Amino acid sequence: MAAPTPSIPAGQPGTSAPPSPASPGPTAVTWGVAPSSAKGPNGRAAFNYKLDPGATLTDYVAVTNHSTRPLTLSLYASDAFTTKQGGFDLLAGGQQPTDVGSWVRLPSRTLTIPSTSRLDVPFTLTVPRNATPGDHAGGIVASLAATAADAQGSQVSVDHRVGARIYLRVTGELQPALTVENLRVQHTGSLNPLAGGTLSATFTVRNTGNARLSGQPALGVAGPFGLARRSVDGAALPEILPGGELTTTVPMSGALPLIRLTASATVTPAAVGDQVLDPPPRAGAAEATVWAVPWPQLALLALLALAGWALIVARRRRAAQLAQAVAAAREEGRAQAGREAGQAPDGPDATADTGTSVQPQAAGDGGTRTRQPPDAGR
């Protein structure tokens, strides 16, 4: 069973995994690959060329064995691609290159290097006459296949690789361009009703031009009618090869939950290394909307409304109770006044209707009163 080929950064020394007991060989093998000349490495970090269609050149690659025993490696050229995480990688050994990797000719597919020594291997690179203008990336790889046991005890084949990068620019018109695709936006509210939530935008950046580029992503957001518009920058993107793509995420804190938010993701292309982009390419952009319902704020508003309503009801109840108390007091006052009026004594001029007349006393009459029946004198 074959295991996936581990990716080793081009231009860096590699260390093999210990082989299985059934596979004879050293327990650790180290080797390196670097640009070179006929007399040895010349300090170049990568093979950088600028050639016309149909041009041919000869160069050298140094393969160094750091171990104390001879080492046999596979030596080949391949095409490069950008990983989803933004890394630089080469096609697996079993995949046939179709770009710059297929334009390189090495003298042999295998190479045996004596212990603690180096071989400077010549190669030729021929640019096809119909090659497209722009950047083409690949690498020259030295690999070692080994057999090891996995966690289940099964024997697996592991291919350890070390490579030196090739950057070739074919002359012609450059058309640098980055596009933003598959924008996905998510809003996460905060439990604090006085704070905004977190907005997270994940999107794919694709190099649709013919020049390798990096880029600066940014995320903008606005509520309805452009309310509370703001933007933040994300982390700068690594190199993206022509035709390559990577996925990145830009977060934004303090995004106000304005029911419906419009998010825009942009990437401004940037040159790699000492390249000059003239004129500068336009930024790629994409737009999406996301619901941002302010549940904590609505809950706080509901509580405030409930508290206000309760306060109004309490005030009205107290006012009604006070009005009832005042009315009762007035009624009690009226009743008390009525009772007091009914218990008052007769006045001095009041006379009883008894049918008895009192004759006034004549002068000198000693005050003797004469009482007559009511029908006297009839």
Half-sphere exposure of 344 (CA within 13 A, CB side): 10
Q: What's the CA gap between 174 and 80, in Å, rounded?
A: 19
Whether pLDDT at 231 is above 70? yes
Is pLDDT of 145 > 90?
no
The pLDDT of residue 13 is above 50: no
Interatomic CA distance for residues 367 and 346, integer angstroms = 26
Report whether pLDDT(19) > 50: no
Q: Which of 157-166, 211-220, 332-341 has the lowest mean pLDDT?
A: 332-341
Question: Given this model, what pLDDT does residue 347 score?
Answer: 52
254: left (phi over 0), alpha (psi -120 to 50) or beta: left
Provide mean pLDDT across the span 57-78. 96
90 burial (CB, 10 Å; 0-12 / 13-18 / 19+) is: buried
Position 276 scores a pLDDT of 83
Q: What is the pLDDT of residues 305-329, one digit of tens each?
A: 888 888 898 889 888 888 888 888 8
| pLDDT score recorded for residue 151 | 74
What tens digit of pLDDT does each residue of 237-254 get?
Answer: 999 999 999 999 999 999
Residue 297: predicted pLDDT: 63
Which of 210, 170, 136, 155 is CA-nearest to residue 1?
155
Model pLDDT for residues 158-196, shown as the tens digit of each residue: 888 999 999 999 999 999 999 999 999 999 987 776 678
Location of structure tokens 């029908």: 375
CB atoms within 10 A of CB 184: 15
Structure tokens at 8: 């080793």
What digits encode the pLDDT tens for the residues 246-285? 999 999 999 888 889 999 999 999 999 888 888 889 999 9
Confidence of residue 345 (pLDDT cuts 50, 70, 90): low
Span 105-138, pLDDT tens digits: 999 999 999 999 999 999 999 999 999 999 999 9
Q: Which residues contact 342 (CB under 8 A, 6 or more apart)?
A: none
Compute the distance between CA of residue 77 and CA of residue 102 in angstroms, rounded to an integer. Answer: 7
Please report which confidence band the pLDDT of residue 27 belongs to, taking 50, 70 and 90 as the band edges: very low
pLDDT at residue number 348: 53
Q: Would you state the pLDDT for residue 331?
A: 86
- Whether 12 has a pLDDT exceeding 60, the answer reads no
pTM of the predicted structure, to 2 decimals: 0.71
74, pLDDT greater than 90: yes
Phi/psi-derived region of residue 109, left when phi > 0, alpha when psi is between -120 and 50, beta in every other case: alpha
Instruction: Scan for tokens 């003298």, then name that residue.
Output: 107
What pLDDT does 11 receive? Answer: 44
- Report residue 50 CA to chain centroid gap: 39
Distances (CA, A) of 107 to 104, 124, 125: 10, 9, 12
Angle (CA) 310-314-315 rounded to 5° is 120
CA–CA separation, 29 and 73 (whole Å): 11
Tokens for 161, please give them. 């690789």
The confidence score (pLDDT) of residue 159 equals: 83
Q: Is residue 171 within 8 Å of residue 50, measured between CB atoms?
A: yes
Contact 68, 29 (CB under 8 A): no
Q: Residue 358 has what pLDDT?
A: 47
Can you tell me the mean pLDDT for 223-229?
93
CA distance 265 to 233: 10
Q: How many CA atoms lie within 13 A of 5 on its CB side?
A: 18
Check pLDDT > 80 for residue 354: no
| pLDDT over 90 at 66, yes or no | yes
Question: Is 60 exceeded by the pLDDT of residue 93?
Answer: yes
Provide DSSP, 64-115: EE-SSS-EEEEEEEEEEEE-TTS-EEE--TTSPP-SGGGGEE-S-SEEEE-T
The Cα 271–Cα 213 span in angstroms is 5
Best CA proximity match to 171, nearest among 278, 251, 54, 75: 54
CA distance 217 to 234: 5
355-374 core/surface letters (b: 16 or more CB in 10 A; e: else): eeeeeeeeeeeeeeeeeeee
Question: pLDDT averaged over the chain?
Answer: 83
The three-class DSSP label of residue 246 is strand
Six-digit token pair at 61? 């690659």
Percentage of residues in the chain with pLDDT exceeding 70? 81
